[in-house]
Each structure stands twice: as C-alpha cells, then as structure tokens.
Structure 1
Amino acid sequence: MRILHTADWHIGRTLEGRSRFSEHVAFFEELENIIRDEQIDVLLMAGDVFDSVNPPAFAEELFYESIARISRQYELPIAIIAGNHDHPERLAAARNIAKTHGIYITGYPGIEPLHIPVQDDVLQLAALPYPSEARMHSVFSKSIDEKTLRDAYNEKIKMIFQQLTQAFKKNHVRMAMSHVFAAGGSASDSERPIEVGGAYTITADAIPENVQYTALGHLHQPQNIGHSKNITRYSGSPLAFSFSESGMTKSVTIVDVQPHQETPEIKEIPLSSGKPLVRWEATYGMNQVKQWLNENKDADAWVELSLHMNETPSMEDIQFIRKSHPGIIHIYPVFPEMAEQAAAKEKNQLPIDELFQKFYEKQTGGAKADDDLIRLFMEMIEEEGEGE
C-alpha cells in the first residue's frame, strides 16, 4: 500500500495581506501529478485544511473541488482530520456525502477508527483530529498547575489512541493520524497555535505502539519525532508561511507499507509550487539593493529586506523598492549601532573554538589555526575549568 501524507495546507492564508491563492492552486496541481506519477493508493491529510474557522468562500471552493476531482479521477480514498485552525463541524458538514465518494472527514475526536478499503486490503486508521480540551469535552480544573495538566492531557491522548487501535488486526495496514504538538518537534513562527507546547504537548509514549506509522500535522517543518515505538512524522506544510521558514524545503511524505511489514519505507517528495520566502541582508545599503533589483534577484519570491543605512530611508527609496519588486514584504532599516549589537550578540553565541579561530585570524593577519592548535587551546580551557 502506497500512502501520501500531507498536512497544514492553510488555504485562505495571506502573507501580510498578500494572497497565496495562486500558490495553493499550483500546489493542488503538483499534488495531483505526484499522486499520478507515484501511483498513490491513499491520501492522508493531517489537519489545518484552512487557515481559520471561517474561511473565505474561494478557499472552501478550492478545497472541495480539488479533493472531489482527485478522488474521482484517481479512485483514491482520502482521509482528512480537523486541525486547530479548522472549524470541526463546518469541515465535516459534508462528511456523509463525501464518504460515498471515498472521502473520510473527521471533525471531532472520537474512539471509532476508520476502516478504509484500499484495493484488496484495508487501511485501519486511528484518526484523531486536533484534541483540544474543548473538543474532547474534557473538564480540567482551572487551578491545576501546568505539569499536572500536561500529564493529564498526555494520558487522555494515550487513552484515546488505545481505544482507537485496540481492535486493529495485523493482517491489515495499521496507522494513526493526529494534529498535535509532540515533544521534540521543531516549531516555526508560522504555526500560530493556541497552544504550541506547554500543557498541551504530548510525549512519545502517547503514540500508539500497535501501528506501523503515525502521520502528524501541526508543525510546518518536515521531521520525524524520536523515541516513539514506530515512525512518527510531521509532513510539514506545502507552502512557507513565515520568514522563519526561509530556506526550508517543503515536501509531502510517501509511505510504502504492507500489513506484516514492521518498518515502512519513507520517501520525501519536495514541492516547488510555493514561492520561496527569502531574506535580503543589504549590508552595503541602497546601492546594493538597486543592484539586486537590476539583476531581478529572487523575482518570484517573497522577500524580507534588512537595509543597512546611516539614516532613515526616504519615502522615495521605499516606494522605488516596492515598485521594483512587488514581492518585498518587509523593509527593516538597520543602523550602525543596531548592526554592532547584533554582531556582538552573535559573537557571544559562538562556540568557544570558533571564537578562538576568529581571534587567531585577527591576531595573525588572517592565518588559520590548525586542528592541533585548536585542540591544545580547548585542553587548556578544560584544565582551567577543572581548576576553578
């Protein structure tokens, strides 16, 4: 069975008022190509279909038309769960009609797993939509401390997964899917969750053991979560939604698995449909920016510009920049004292061996310290530390 895992589409989201609609349209076209070329059997979408509980009409139209077309054209079962940005009832309103077309939409957490026919096999799926306190209809004391709340929340998730998977049979493919923050995951600025971590974090032991793969949504960087009994993975978002994701490769994950296969094979397919988010550091001021604009640098990208200057840029300069490159989102002036503070902060954060290397280069007029010299210096530092 070949399964495509994706999540965090956030249809309807903007970037400082700039529409991402054309990028989402391009993503669905790319997704269809991957489904066709990779001969996908099942599509799993692990939450945050939309960017808000009240998405614009064009976002809903794009979503429902796209999944209907994919399901119909490729005879592909699709399983979708609500994320923290989705309205669970609104998302699942068409679930009965959708199910007749092989599309399974789950809004609220429950204890009944999905059994999805896939050719001559069955995918047993423990589908757990975003399990907030309110959506689980759980009652936690208002005065409870964070650690106790975290432990109680973790146990609740663990119990739900156990109920969802308790009847799973090993002669069928067994998977779990949820939209949660798992301990050890690396977040970016673009998740904007109500609770990224803290009390609403789950640990690896909450992930069910009797599944072959756990498909997660919520974090926008593709990554595996360590210490779980099976492969537990965030597929990441298809588009970059904040400049903290600059340089991050976006992808979907393909899982190849058979009923009695202990460890599935994982394949990451990079995406190119979203515009890159890049950061420009114009250390030589306005002239450097003009040169980049003349070169059409990053013409098809969203740009965050840090402009080093001795005085505040004029309105003419700002208007020229924005007119020359409509994709420039932010223009941050950086004055000498700000640059010095940033450099000092960065210097203080460098490892001690790198600081020594920079000091040695400065003292010797650019010579490089060899490995033996750096090792000797580090030994002296350690001996000094032991003496203290």
Structure 2
Amino acid sequence: MRILHTSDWHLGRTLYGKKRYQEFEAFLNWLAEIIERDEIDTLLVAGDIFDTSAPSNRAQELYYRFLCRVAASDCRHVVVIAGNHDSPSFLNAPKALLKVLDVHVIGNLSENMEEEVLVLNNAQGKPELIVCAVPYLRDRDIRIAEAGESIEDKEQKLLEGIRSHYSAIAAVADQKNNELEVKVPIVGMGHLFTAGGQTIDGDGVRELYVGSLAHVNATIFPDSFDYVALGHLHVPQKVGGFEHIRYCGSPIPMGFGEAKQQKCVCRIQLEHHADYQSTNVPIQQIDVPLFQPLERIKGDWESIEKRILELSLTNSQTWIEIIYDGDEIIGDLRDRLDTVIASTGIEILRVKNARIIDRILGKTQEDETLDDLNVNDVFDRCLAVHGVPDEQRPELLRAYQETLTSLYEQDVRAD
C-alpha cells in the first residue's frame, strides 16, 4: 500500500497582489505525475485546499481537473479533509458525486462519527486501509461555551475536546478493524497546530484558537495509528520526534520567508499488521520542484544592487522582496530599484525601507501598507491611537482574537 501525503495547497492565494495560478497548476501537474510514476494507491490531502472559503473559478477548475486526472489513474483512493481556510459546505457540496470517483471528502464533523472512518478496498474489493479522516475541528464543534469561563477554562476544554474526538474516532476504527478477516493499517488525518510546531514569519499560518492557542501534543494521537498525516503548518516536520506523525508542509512557498525552504510531499509504504510495527513505517520525503523563484534581499544599497545585477545576468524571472536597512536615508528607493530591474525578467513585489520607518517613528510611512501588518498589529495601533491604558489591553486583545476566530470559522457558503 503506497500512500502520498500532501496538504496546504492554498489554491488561489496571491503574493502581494500577484496571482499564482501558474505555480499551482504546475504543482498539481507534477503531483499527478508522481502519483502515476510511483504507482500511488491512496492520496491524502490534509486540509487548506483553497486559500479562502469562497475560491475563484480558476482555483476550483484546478482542483476538479486534478481530481479527474487522479481518478483516471491507477490511484484507487483520494481522501480530502477541510482545513481552517476551507468552507466545509463548499467542499462537501459535490461529495456524493466525487465518491463515485473514489474521492472521499470530509468537510466537517458529522452527527455520525463513523462517516470520518473510511474503510478503503483494494483492486479485488478487499479492505486494505482504514483512514480516520478528521477535518479541522472548529471551536463550536468541540467546546460548549459557558458564561464566566476564563481563558484557561476555554483552553482546557478545547484540548480535551480534540483529544476526546481522536480517541473516539480511533475506537471506531479499531472496532471496524477487529471485524475484518485480516487486520489492515490505520492512518489518522488532521488539520491542527501541534505544540512545538515550527512556523516561519509571513507564512500566513493562523493561530487556531484563543488562549495559549491550544497547541496539542503527539499524545492525542492513539497508538493504533500507523501514520498520522497532518496539515496546517507549512514547514515539513515531525511531531514530538515521532517518525510516523508528520506535517508534509505546503507545496510552494507561501511567502518570502519560505523562499529558501525545500518543499516536499511524503510517500509512505504500509503493509498488513501481521509482520511489522508502526514505528518502522518506511517514509520518504519527495522534493517538490521550485516553480517560481522567490528571494528576499536585505542590506544596504550596494549589496541590494549587486544581488539584483547578479540575478539579471542569469536571465532570472525571480520575484523579489527588498528590505533596505542601510545607514543612508534613501527617499527614492523605489525609483532606483525600478531602474536596476529595467529590461530584466525580475519583479519586485514588496519594498520595505527600514530607515524611513525609523526616521518617521510612530507615523505610517508612504510605502507601508496593510501587507506589512498582521491583524494584531492593526488592533494594537487602534488601541494606541485611542489612548487605551496598557492594563486594559490584554483583555481587549483576547476579546478581539475570539471575534477573529469566530469570523474565520464562519462558513460563508453554508446558506
């Protein structure tokens, strides 16, 4: 049983206004070729298929075209779970139709927990794999709010809700496995933030819950899981040092902070339980090609100009972020940069002039945009502008974060 684990495609995502459909299409074509080349039996997609809950027509076209191509290959099954960026109702809408193609979609929790436990058959119609396909667990799915709760109370309820759900799902999977003539491997899926998980500044990974953000640890995943395919974090990594609990990461750099990161998908080889232990699961990271070069150039004017000229000599098509931190105050930085890249294939998507920012301290400078700030930065500035005392800010920030979480989890496609 050959399994491929991928996640966090974020189809439709832009980078400082630049559309990236060609990158997404190139990745999906490459992924389909890997599935065909390596004779993959099951593809697991661990959430955040789209970047927004209302994806564009072009993003949808890429998704469905890919699924049709995989369905026409020798790959027997595709399992897709929703991430925190996805609309559960949108993913679920074609669920019955896609199931005919052996594409199993789990957009949200169901009243019937067994719907998340998929028993997948081989070419002969015999069970070969059980997948516990747990989608992103929204706050309202796993916690009942009560008046007067502290942040710590909410946090504890969230963690316990996640743990209880995985425990219950594993119990259903174990029962189904015990009913089979021959036991088969069990794979868990999830879209969540684990304790100690590595992120990169500017990757767009949202914190999922309020409080200490309910980062779970590896102990929530039952021992019966032979492999755990996770999504949400964009850096490929193991969880808690366990080889078989992994994030495969995003397939393309989501921001300039990921520019030098090697992207990958994970290939897993599973056999029947009779002769092996889950700790010995063969796992291989397959490097994803770089479809669009990105580079962050930081330094004084001489070093920035030198690096751009080096790139231009190679006929580079690189997208660049410039962070100027030289001692000289340069008011016409953008004009200078435009002159240097003229007649080249290089594009500068963002310029941050640190010296101008330092000089006009406390005042938003002309080149600064909302792209330079995260949502908490904007809220902090609002508090400062309105003179809110420091001692009142922590509670207001928590209330603001709760409001954001509620907005993020609202399914705009539900009605």
- Say yes or no: TM over 0.5: yes
Shift of 1:63: 0.2
Shift of 1:306: 2.5
Name the aligned partner's letter for residue 170 of structure 2.
Answer: T
Report the secondary structure of 2:109's partner residue: coil
Q: Is the 8 A contact 2:139 2:209 kept in 1?
A: no
Q: CA RMSD in A?
A: 2.5
- Name the structure 2 match of 1:146: 151
- Name the structure 2 match of 1:224: 238
Question: In structure 1, what is the Cα distance between the partners aligned to 2:61 and 2:356?
Answer: 49
Q: Is the 8 A contact 2:305 2:340 kept in 1?
A: no
Question: In structure 2, what is the Cα distance between the partners aligned to 1:294 and 1:85?
Answer: 37
Tell me which of 109, 131, 152 is aligned to 2:137.
131
Question: In structure 1, what is the Cα distance between the partners aligned to 2:215 and 2:333?
Answer: 47
- Name the structure 2 match of 1:64: 64
Question: In structure 2, what is the Cα distance between the partners aligned to 1:271 and 1:116?
Answer: 27
Residue by residue, what CA displacement relative to the aligned partner does 1:2-61 show, whole Å, maximum 9, x if unpaired? Answer: 100000000000001101100000001110121122211100000000000001011011
1:301 aligns with 2:305: no
Name the aligned partner's letter for residue 266 of structure 2.
Answer: T
- Name the structure 2 match of 1:215: 229
Greater relative CO, 1 or 2 (CA 8 Å, sep 6+): 2
Shift of 1:334: 4.7
Question: In structure 2, what is the Cα distance between the partners aligned to 1:245 and 1:141?
Answer: 40
- Name the structure 2 match of 1:250: 263
Report the secondary structure of 1:202's partner residue: coil
Name the aligned partner's letter for residue 133 of structure 2.
Answer: A
Q: Is the 8 A contact 1:9 1:50 kept in 2?
A: yes
Report the secondary structure of 1:114's partner residue: strand
Aligned residue pairs, count: 336
Tell me which of 93, 118, 121 is aligned to 1:117.
121
Name the aligned partner's letter for residue 351 of structure 2.
Answer: I
Asked which structure has the greater CA Rg, the reply is 1
Question: In structure 1, what is the Cα distance between the partners aligned to 2:356 and 2:136?
Answer: 46
Q: Is the 8 A contact 2:36 2:75 kept in 1?
A: no
Report the secondary structure of 2:73's partner residue: helix
- Name the structure 2 match of 1:378: none
Question: In structure 2, what is the Cα distance between the partners aligned to 1:77 and 1:102?
Answer: 5
Shift of 1:159: 1.4
Greater shift in the superposed pair: 299-308 or 103-112 = 299-308
- Name the structure 2 match of 1:363: none
Which sections of structure 2, spanning at least 5 residues, go unmatched? Answer: 359-415
Identical residues among aligned pairs (%): 28
Question: In structure 2, what is the Cα distance between the partners aligned to 1:68 and 1:337?
Answer: 50
- Name the structure 2 match of 1:176: 188
Shift of 1:327: 2.7
Question: In structure 2, what is the Cα distance between the partners aligned to 1:296 and 1:334?
Answer: 29
- Name the structure 1 match of 2:171: 166
1:280 aligns with 2:294: no
- Name the structure 1 match of 2:386: none
* Alpha-carbon distance change, 139 to 319 in structure 1, aligned in 2, over 3 angstroms: same
Q: Is the 8 A contact 1:147 1:199 kept in 2?
A: no
1:187 aligns with 2:199: yes
Name the aligned partner's letter for residue 313 of structure 2.
Answer: E
Greater shift in the superposed pair: 35-44 or 164-173 = 164-173
Name the aligned partner's letter for residue 288 of structure 1.
Answer: K
Name the aligned partner's letter for residue 144 of structure 1.
Answer: E
Q: Is the 8 A contact 1:82 1:130 kept in 2?
A: yes
Q: Is the 8 A contact 1:236 1:251 kept in 2?
A: yes
Tell me which of 282, 292, 306 is aligned to 1:265.
282
- Name the structure 1 match of 2:246: 233
1:312 aligns with 2:331: yes
Residue by residue, what CA displacement relative to the aligned partner does 1:185-225 show, whole Å, maximum 9, x if unpaired? Answer: 11223234252782332222211221101100000000000
Question: In structure 2, what is the Cα distance between the partners aligned to 1:317 and 1:289?
Answer: 14
Question: In structure 2, what is the Cα distance between the partners aligned to 1:196 and 1:292?
Answer: 44
Greater shift in the superposed pair: 95-104 or 73-82 = 73-82
Question: In structure 2, what is the Cα distance between the partners aligned to 1:63 and 1:38?
Answer: 21
Shift of 1:146: 2.9
Tell me which of 310, 315, 331 is aligned to 1:292.
310
Report the secondary structure of 2:10's partner residue: coil
* Alpha-carbon distance change, 278 to 316 in structure 1, aligned in 2, over 3 angstroms: closer
Q: Is the 8 A contact 2:43 2:75 kept in 1?
A: no
Residue by residue, what CA displacement relative to the aligned partner does 1:321-345 show, whole Å, maximum 9, x if unpaired? Answer: 454454321222354997xxxxxxx
Shift of 1:258: 1.0
Residue by residue, what CA displacement relative to the aligned partner does 1:72-112 show, whole Å, maximum 9, x if unpaired? Answer: 22343100000000000111111111101100000112422
- Name the structure 1 match of 2:94: 94
Residue by residue, what CA displacement relative to the aligned partner does 1:146-179 show, whole Å, maximum 9, x if unpaired? Answer: 3332222122112111221214227111010010
Q: Is the 8 A contact 1:106 1:129 kept in 2?
A: yes
* Alpha-carbon distance change, 310 to 41 in structure 1, aligned in 2, over 3 angstroms: same
Shift of 1:249: 0.5
- Name the structure 2 match of 1:328: 348
Q: Is the 8 A contact 1:281 1:305 kept in 2?
A: yes
* Alpha-carbon distance change, 49 to 312 in structure 1, aligned in 2, over 3 angstroms: same
Report the secondary structure of 2:323's partner residue: strand
* Alpha-carbon distance change, 74 to 301 in structure 1, aligned in 2, over 3 angstroms: farther
Q: Is the 8 A contact 1:282 1:289 kept in 2?
A: no
* Alpha-carbon distance change, 180 to 4 in structure 1, aligned in 2, over 3 angstroms: same
Name the aligned partner's letter for residue 203 of structure 1.
Answer: N
Residue by residue, what CA displacement relative to the aligned partner does 1:245-283 show, whole Å, maximum 9, x if unpaired? Answer: 121110000011112131211100000143232211343
